[in-house]
Amino acid sequence: MASADDKSYDDINVTPMVDLYLVLLLIFIIMTTAGVQGVKVELPRASKAAAPKMDGPKMQAITVDNQGKIRLNTTPIGSLAELESKLSAVKAAAPETPVVVRGDRAAQYQGVMDVLDVVGRVGITKIGLATEPAK
């Protein structure tokens, strides 16, 4: 009498191997596209597609000009600490306030990053960067 252990396995189950290959292919595709992103940078131009509409409280505009001077809406700001205190007051009045950062093309990148750092410290999560539409 032959038992179940004596059965020979002539067929190979390739389903787990195909699943493994598909997962590896997916990881390869994701890593390749993630590595390519950020290589080409042409600022401050953007596509002609409309930006999403921000509803809710009045939007605040922070402008960094080519000399590195900061303005909140039209009010000149003397320092980053002053900007942080004014943004904290705006956030306390309306927690969902959107902020748009407008950096001049000739402005130093560090000035814009300092402003974004202050906006992040205040806790504002709706942040946009203003750009010109592509020509």
Residue type, 63: T
Supply the pTM of this predicted model.
0.55
- Topology classification of domain 45-133: Nucleotidyltransferase; domain 5 (3.30.420)
Q: What is the mean pLDDT of residues 48-67?
A: 69
φ/ψ of residue 100, rounded to 5: -115, 125
Tell the residue number behind the tokens 């402008």, with chain if given.
63
Mean pLDDT of the chain: 76
List, for residues 75-118, the tens digit of each pLDDT value: 888 888 888 888 888 888 887 888 888 887 777 778 888 888 88
Higher pLDDT, 42 or 30: 30
